[in-house]
Structure 1
């Protein structure tokens, strides 16, 4: 029960931060770096969802009972492409409106996703015996870097 409450808290913080950033920011109609990040993040997000379709996607860091380890598509490069997509999407918005509230909210979102990511990795290591090998051959969230 405590696991589910913690997972719910992480999800609420995540979606609240995303909502605040998107609500406070209007994307410019012209093509710029912020818009490019938004479009690229959507492409990465859809690619990750498509690759994970057989494993029953969930926003919770707690893996489903019948989950399968996915290591194709973007998951062949990084373990958490959906987190990367969320961070890129919100960064694209923050670039459009860089102010204290958006930067603070983006920082909270980033820290929240790092906490969620590390906890999820612990749970995935417990669920899948070959997850440690997968961790050795891929980066967490940024290809070739982290």
Structure 2
């Protein structure tokens, strides 16, 4: 359904509501405790706010591209909400953008990201309580499933609503998460020594290589 330009943007109440919903979801699944956790959560929250600010508040990206867009697509009103899904239009998709392949893939990535975030936290919480190393569940496949989860959610949102701000933020945040992951690994290695060294040797940092369902024994500190 198309919205008029007056109703598609300037809806700051929707910016606040949608931002709070997704930030609350992330908070409830991630439950930040350390300074590193809060830094991760804060950067993700900033991404979410920037996204919804353009989705419902002020369409900065569309304004900046308006000259080129009107020449390339003279019959399209890019200040309606549906046309704000730029990839849908630029790639020549037809019909409702909320049901195209990009939007469906986006929803899958977002749901998968939040599911991974929740699953990882449960394993990690039990491991921290037992003061052991978490190597079961998502930690059986990658050493930093929670960072992978945040990246999946952000990439999912980029597929349905890319903006200049979020496109700039995304690689910066990925780089930040990689740095945080390496820093945390040094701390965990000091705590668990050879146990963590062997785990790190067998388990990739971000990209799983072993998709078997053979679980390892549980335990862990944050890695």
Please tell me whether residue 88 in structure 1 is matched to residue 160 in structure 2. no
TM-score, L = length of structure 1? 0.77
Distance (whole Å) between structure 2 residues aligned to residue 95 and residue 67 of structure 1: 39
| Alignment partner, residue 97 of structure 1 | 161
Q: Which has the higher contact order (CA 8 A, sep 6+)?
A: 1
**Is the 2:36–2:180 contact (alpha carbons within 8 Å) kept by the matching residues of 1?**
no
Cα pair distance change 1:20/1:94, threshold 3 Å: farther
Distance (whole Å) between structure 1 residues aligned to residue 122 and residue 46 of structure 2: 27
Cα pair distance change 1:136/1:53, threshold 3 Å: same
| Alignment partner, residue 39 of structure 1 | 111
How does 1:12-91 map onto structure 2 within 5 Å? 12=39, 14-23=40-49, 24-25=51-52, 30=99, 32-56=104-128, 67-91=131-155
Cα-Cα RMSD? 2.5
Distance (whole Å) between structure 2 residues aligned to residue 76 and residue 144 of structure 1: 10
Is 38-47 or 17-26 further displaced after alignment?
17-26
User: Structure 1 residue runs of 4+, over 4 Å off?
Assistant: 26-31
| Deviation of the 1:55 alpha carbon | 2.5
Cα pair distance change 1:29/1:56, threshold 3 Å: farther
**Is the 1:80–1:140 contact (alpha carbons within 8 Å) kept by the matching residues of 2?**
yes
In structure 1, stretches of 5+ residues that fail to align are 1-6, 58-65
Distance (whole Å) between structure 2 residues aligned to residue 39 and residue 99 of structure 1: 21
Distance (whole Å) between structure 1 residues aligned to residue 105 and residue 201 of structure 2: 32
Distance (whole Å) between structure 1 residues aligned to residue 164 and residue 109 of structure 2: 20
